[in-house]
Amino acid sequence: MLRRPPTTLQITAEDIAAYEDRRASEALLAAQQARAAEVAARATAAAAAASHAGVGAGGEAATQQTTA
């Protein structure tokens, strides 16, 4: 059975720097997306709270008018 020589990997300092840069940019992108999702969720919650506040106030006024 023939054997081939073992494979050797050569990693340079530039390879490591490129890997670290890519990981840092991926982490930054993930943080930005999480922040955008949080802001969107807060805006949705605020809009829902505002619409519920308007409905509740209108409902009380209608109740007061019909019972008076």
pLDDT in tens, 1-57: 689 999 999 999 999 999 999 999 999 999 999 999 999 999 999 999 888 876 555
Q: Distance between CA atoms of 42 and 35, rounded to whole angstroms?
A: 11
DSSP secondary structure string for all residues of 14-50: HHHHHHHHHHHHHHHHHHHHHHHHHHHHHHHHHHHHH
What is the Cα 30 distance to its own chain's centre? 7
- Maximal C-alpha separation, the chain: 102
pTM: 0.56
